[in-house]
Each structure stands twice: as C-alpha cells, then as structure tokens.
Chains A and B, each alone.
Chain A
Amino acid sequence: MTHSLTLKKPVAVALSAMVLFGALSLFAGAAGASPKQAPYQTGRYNAGTPNSSVVVEKDGTVVKYGNGSIVYILPSAALVDLGHALYSANCAACHGVDANGVPPHSAQTSYANVHAGAYPNLQGVGPAAVDFWIESGRMPAAAGTDVQAVRRPQRLTHKQALAIAAFIDTLTTNPGLPYVPSVNLKSASLATGADLFALNCAACHTITGGGDALAFGTYAPSLRHVPANQVVEAIRTGPGNMPRFSGNLSDAQVRDIVAYVTEYIQHPTNPGGLGLGGLGPVAEGFIGLALGVGLLCLAAFWVGERQ
C-alpha cells in the first residue's frame, strides 16, 4: 500500500510536467519564427503560469498574453511616434537618445551614481517597468542625484507612459518583458494574499505596509496609496532595490497579494479604534506613556495635596 503511494507522487509530477511542457511548446509554435518572438512561453516572468489568452499579430508579434488573473498587454505600435517625441523631451537628457543609459560620471561618486545604476540602460526593460516608473511619478526624476526616486504626483499620463514604452520597445529586436499588466481581482483569495504578503513583502514594507527605512538612505516605500496595477508591475519588474518576483509567484498568487494590499493594507478595518498610523508599539508606547501614565499623574496631582 505504502509502496504504491510512494510511486504515485513522482508519476503525477512527471505527468503534470509533461502536460505543462506540451502546453508551452504549443505556445512556442504559435509564436512562429518571427524576429519579434518573445520568450514569454518559458514562464520566466510569471512563474510558469499557463497563458490562456495569447494574441499574436500577423507578423508574429505577441501583443497580449496572460490568463484569468493578469493579462499582459503590449502597448500599441501606433503610439511609437508620440513616444519618440515624449522620450526626447522627458527622458533622453539622462538615459541618452538611444535609451542605452549613461555611465556614472567619474566626478559623481555618490552612492546613487555608483550603486543604484544612475541613468540605466532602458533597452529591453519591458513596457511594465517603463509604465511603473512613469505612472508612479518617479520618472521623469526630480533630482538625478537622489539615492532613491520618490513617488510623486504623476507627470505624464497613462497614454503617454504607454507611448514611451512602445518607443523604447522599438529599440531592440525582441520586445522586453513583461508587458503592461492588467489585474483582475474578481476571484482573488484574500487569505492566500495575506499569507504571501507576510512571507514575501513584510520583510521590507512591514506587515502593515507602511514602508520603512533600509540601509544607506534607501527605503521600502509605503504601499498605502499604490494602485493595483502598479503593485503588479513592481512585483514583476523589481524596481530599484526591490527583488524581481518572477520565478516564485504565479499570476494568481500575485493577484491575491494585490487584492490583500489594495483592500486591507490600504483600507485597514481597525475594529479596535484609532489605528495610530500602523506604527505598532512605537505609537502605542507613546500613547500609553504620554496619555495613559501622563494623564493619570495629572489626575493624582488633581486629587492629592500639592504642599
């Protein structure tokens, strides 16, 4: 009995691997031998999540892939000219006209320039990364020498961001991955999201999502005001110091995390009263000592004699 049980598991694994491999090779075939062939089928960018909705144009360019959880869409090629103009006006000064980046100036040896990849090469970063940096207001940058770009009000619109992404895509033979994601939170599991958030995100962004300081002036930003699609983009592209979560989280898992972040991290229920900024014992200690003990000392002062 136990013998047959031990046999079953590897067999199941082998079977499912074969099925998966078959599905992937099917998509590889669908993509054809075009120069615009994208390696999305290998699942490098979404942990092997099967792509159920793939749209391929006549020239073989994959313009859309994804599944019921997240759909990744390539910005329209019609926006390339607009994108070129916007790129020249807003980005080329630092990233260069060919978007291949500018090496750090020898005289500028600040941490930002040396370690954080100042003026990085944008060729092949993928539309999602471009969209994230522009839509979160971090690009165009406020100051090129900052250790870490700060989230600001958006400077360029969503369409302009897509246009720039479309233009940058034309600079390489293969379009960068991932495409701009669109997440569907309808059947998300909050429990899975909360669990995965604690495992993958809380180590930097804190368990309440408030963000916190990291080493050498860098920090994990607060998640309290980040739109759903930007959370997906950040997870899939790993902006700045953040690791790129592409190999260990499936699209459904990313969707669950996004649902937890946008529903509970951004709108905590706080059934216990005032949330105290989600700061935990720092705020609680202050309230307990200043308000609790402090007011009770004043009460003693009121009740007792002062001579």
Chain B
Amino acid sequence: MTDIAVNTKRAKKAQAGPYGKVGQALNGLDDRLGVAKGGRTFMDKIFPDHWSFMLGEIALYSFVVLLVTGIFLTLYYVPSSSIVTYHGPYLPLDGQKFSEAYASSINLSFSVRAGLLMRQMHHWACDIFVGSIVVHMCRVFFTGAFRKPRELNWSIGLTLLTLAIVNGFIGYSLPDDLVSGTGIRIAYSIILSIPVVGTHLAFWLFGGNFPGTVILGRFYAIHILILPLVILGLVGAHLGLLVRQKHTQFPGEGRTEKNVVGSPMFPIFMAKTTGFLFLVGGAIALLGAFAQINPIWQFGPYDNIAKISYAVQPDWYMGFLDGALRIFPAWSFHSFGYTIPIEVLFPAVILPGIVFTLGYLWPNLEARITKDDEIHNLLDRPRDRPHRTAAGAGILSLLFMLFIASSTDVIANYMHISLNEVLIAMRVLVLVSPFIGYAVAYYICKELQGVEKAGKRKTHNIVTRTATGEYVTVAAPMNVNDMHAELHAVPVPNYIEDDAVAASASSTAGVRTVDR
C-alpha cells in the first residue's frame, strides 16, 4: 500500500522535504564535509551593485576564455625551431621550409577544425583582458579604492597588469611569424641595452646569440605554465583579499564606512555575474568569428633575419613602449670602451620602470602627502579629489600619447603628412601632454564641484498660456531615472537557524546590508 502512495509525484515530493532533491544532496554534502556554515556565509556575501565594480569581472572572464582557448591551442602548437617543409591548403606557403612552430601555427589555423576561431578568440581575449585591467585600474585609482586597507590589493593588481602585458607579448612571439620575430628581435636588443648585465641576461635567456634555437621552447614554458600559474595565484589572492576586506562602495544614504550595502552572492550577484560571464565570452566569440586578428599566414615565416616588414606594431598594450622607442632621439653614450644606448635604455627600460614604480608607490605617496592614515571603505567621487584625478589624467595622457606615437607611420600615411613632422610633433605632444592633461582634469574637477547635480539631465520648463493670455512657466518634474531613490536594505541574518529572518530576507529581492 505504502509503495503505491510513494510512487505518486506528490508523495515523492513530500518525502524529499521542503528543499527537494537539491536540498537532500546539500544535506548529504553537509553531513560529510560540513559545508553548510561556510556555504551560508559565502552565499550571503554582500556585493555592492554599482556598474563600475563589474569592470574587473571583464578581466576575470576574459582570463577564463584565455585559459580555455589556450588549452585548445596547446594541443596543436609545437614550440620547435627545427625546420620542416610545409604542405597545406595555403598556396603561398606550400612547399616553403620554416620552423615547426610556424608550421604548426599555420596548420592549427587552416587544417584544425575550429583552430582559427580558437586562435582568434585567444588573441581578442588577450587584447580585452589587458584593456579591461586598465579600465578597472582607472576606476580603482580615480575613486580612491586603493587607499588603506587595500594598498596590497592595488599592488597585486598592478603586478597582474605587468604579467598580463609580459605574457601577452610572449604569446604574440610564439607563432614565429615575421612580425613576432621582429618583436623578439626588439626585445633582445632592449635586454642588451641594459648596462653591465644586459649581454649576460640576453645570452642567458636566448641560450646564446639571437635568434638561437631555444627561445621558443622557453617562451612556451613561460607562456603556458609559469605565468598563467602565477597569474592564477595572484587572481586568487586578489579575490581572496576582496572577500576578506569586503568591497568598497560609493557614499549614499544608508551606506557608511562600517557597512556594505548590496546584493547577496546567492541568488542575485551569482545570476548577474554568470550572465556577465556569458556576455564577455559571447563578445569575444563574436570578435573571434568575424574580425580577423594577427593573420600570420600573410606575414610569412621569420626564417631569415634579413626579412623585415615596414610598419610593424606590437599589440596595443605594448604600444606605449614601441612609441617611446620610435620617438626617442638617437642618443647614446660612449666611454671607457663601453656603449650605453640611451636611445633604447631610456624609452624601453627606464621609462616603464619609472611609471610602474610610481604606480606601486602611489598609495603610500598619497597617504604621506595627505597625511591620511584612516581606513577608507567609502569611495571618492573623482571631482572631490582634483589633484589625484589630475595626476592620473596626466599619466594617462603621457601613456596615451606614447601609444599614439607607436603608429607614426600610419598617421603620416593616411593624413599625407611627412613622417619627420609627425615624429617631431609627437615628441612635443608627449612632453607637453601630461601637463595639459593635469591642468584640464584639475579645472574640470573644480568646475564640477561648483555645479549642483552635474551630470543629471536638465528638466524642461512647461510654458502654458492661460485663457486670459497670461503665460505661466512651470518646471517639469525630474526624470524618474535621475531621482535618487534609496533602497531600504534588509539586514543579513546572523544565524542559519534564524529561519524567520532568512525567509523574509530571501523573499525580498532588494538590497541587503551587512556590518563589516
């Protein structure tokens, strides 16, 4: 009799308890691993909802795409300089002899199903990865999110940017095509330019003189194993610190230095962020499918160091270094039988060294200048810290101008200006731009400070003519989206057993608040 009753759907549901099969499975997991307490804390983790806090997620998810597509690429890429004869569908390369690395990259593009899509997605994901790190860093910098207690996380982020750039460059070098070979040649020269240790470093890294036969294998190990592991570890530390220290938030009603107002991890934030993962992955897949990137078959192999293509640029994130190298005057220093090539050393080693050191030191420098030793969980509006905003704008202007200087030839060609004049103009612009950037940003901040509700849309005026011919002007009500509607936060329950609070909290889909 009971068997029949249990066989109905309703009876099965009743037997499974109020949380169903999933609840049963979770109970089982809790019985064995004790996940309930930690899991509850995790799922109740509060994340502030401002859109600008999601910029770092673009970087995180493009890194996920990089890992997935990268694993695919490692299945087909061969990091070998040994010479093979290529035979394949691309006629201009058919029968040519070149390195196995290049041959395998061509094969993976033309003869492996979805290989080209994966390669292009990997490359686009890299461009977007570094780009979103930069955008995310700008958000952190201009809102003062790097201040105490988050100086360490700022340094980790800056290290991640550096490693992303380095690994991007190394990945760009792996196919051993003409353009990447030129890039390695420049990197070799940059290492050589370092006084005293340069020659030794270069010989150690390349296993002898350029190009040698070992560099591709070493780059491969660095690119697919060492740096991804370091980046993965640092991303873990970055997110771990974020969870430990809790996210910053913009000031507003109900938001204090001592609480966090936002959505809980489950279900709201998790749904949002998973959706965002698919948006990022989808955007990269679309770019990979429809926009050609790094067509190495057109570039041909780097089988002869006499080969060179004019107008070769690196990927965008190396642009500022390339630009600096392009426009720096040909100065070098000879004495005691040694040559110090300032023309390479300064733009490619000293300048990025200064910029990145300044980046690492900035949180401490600012704290020292402002004599501010407080803990800050509320963010600044950029306009309220005009000097910091202006300094950031100045550095960005400098880097942007150096970036533009990386395409002097394209500017000259498309605008029909003499390349020499473009060169001189870029030198002047690079020197002047930080000061202009600083001044403009500073005055914009000052002006914005003086304007109430800057950035909000103006309300229109309604003019009506009465029956007697009188005109009456009435201001229209504010646009609904511009009205600052404060959401009333529901406190997060402190105990798992507190079912009443938990039920009320989960039934309200609004924001929640938790003490830090």
Q: How far, in Å, is A62 (CB) from chain B's closest CB?
A: 35
Interface size (B, Cβ < 8 Å)? 76
Chain B residues near A289: list those with CB within 8 A.
Answer: 127, 131, 316
Contacting A293 at CB < 8 Å: which of B51, B94, B131, B319? B131
Q: Does A285 contact B (CB under 8 A)?
A: yes
Residues of A within 8 A of B407 (CB): 282
- Distance, CA A211 to CA B410, complexed state (A): 10
User: Is A198's CB under 8 angstroms from B178's CB?
Assistant: yes
Residues of B within 8 A of A300 (CB): 51-52, 54-55, 57-58, 276
**Does A213 interact with chain B (Cβ within 8 Å)?**
yes
A73 at the interface (CB under 8 A from B): no
**One of B197-205, B287-295, B339-347 contacting the partner:** B287-295
Complex alpha-carbon distance, A295 and B120, angstroms:
18
Residue A171 lies at the interface, judged by CB distance under 8 Å to chain B:
no
- What chain B residues lie within 8 Å of A276 (beta carbons)? 291-293
Which one of B91, B127, B412 lies within 8 Å of A288 (CB-CB)? B127
Tell me the complex Cα distance, A6–B411, Å: 54
Contact of B313 (CB < 8 Å), options: A271, A282, A287, A288? A282
Task: List CB contacts (< 8 Å) of A187-209 with chain B.
Answer: 189-191, 193-195, 197-199, 202-208
Q: Does B50 contact A (CB under 8 A)?
A: yes
B116 touches A271 (CB 8 A): yes
A227 within 8 A of B: no
State A291–B298 Cα separation when bound (angstroms): 24
Residues of chain B from 375 to 408 with CB closer than 8 A to chain A in the complex: 406-407
Contact of A280 among B179, B252, B300 (CB under 8 A): B179
Using known A-B contacts A194-B96, A293-B128, determine if residue A203 contacts B292 with beta carbons closer than 8 Å: no
Name the B residues within 8 Å of A304 (CB-CB). Answer: 49-54, 272
Nearest B residue to A298 by beta-carbon distance? B51
The reply on A9 being an interface residue by CB < 8 A is no
Q: Are A216 and B418 also in contact (CB < 8 A) when A273-B290, A304-B51 are?
A: yes
CB pair A202 B178 closer than 8 Å: yes
| B293 contacts A284, C-beta separation under 8 Å | yes
Is B95 in contact with chain A by the CB < 8 A criterion?
A: yes
B128:A284 contact, CB within 8 angstroms: no
A interface, size bucket: 35 or more
Q: Is the CB of B418 within 8 A of A217?
A: yes
| Contact yes or no, B410 A199, CB < 8 A | no
In the complex, whether B307 has a CB less than 8 A from a CB of chain A is: yes
Q: Are A295 and B313 in contact (CB under 8 A)?
A: no
**Does B409 lie within 8 Å of A213, measured CB to CB?**
yes
Q: Indicate if the CB atoms of B54 and A270 lie closer than 8 Å.
A: no
Kindly list chain A residues whose C-beta atoms are within 8 Å of the C-beta of B58: 293, 296-297, 300
Which of the 9-residue segments B224-232, B277-285, B496-504 touches chain A?
B277-285
Task: Contact check, B307 vs A219: say whether CB atoms are below 8 A apart.
Answer: no
Chain B residues with CB under 8 Å of chain A are: 49-55, 57-58, 90-96, 109-110, 116, 120, 123-124, 127-128, 131-132, 135, 178-179, 250, 252, 272, 275-276, 279-280, 283-284, 287, 289-295, 298-300, 304, 306-316, 319, 406-407, 409-410, 412-413, 417-420, 422, 481, 484-485
- What 8 new A-B contacts, CB under 8 Å, besides A191-B91, A280-B313? A197-B300, A207-B309, A219-B412, A273-B292, A280-B311, A284-B127, A288-B127, A292-B128
Q: Can you list 5 A-B contacts with CB-CB less than 8 angstroms, sorted by A residue number?
A: A194-B93, A203-B309, A216-B419, A281-B319, A304-B51
Residues of A that sit less than 8 Å from B by CB? 189-191, 193-195, 197-199, 202-208, 210-217, 219-220, 260, 264, 268-276, 278-282, 284-289, 291-293, 295-297, 299-307
The 8 closest A-B pairs by CB, nearest first: A304-B51, A285-B316, A272-B292, A288-B127, A213-B412, A207-B309, A194-B92, A305-B49
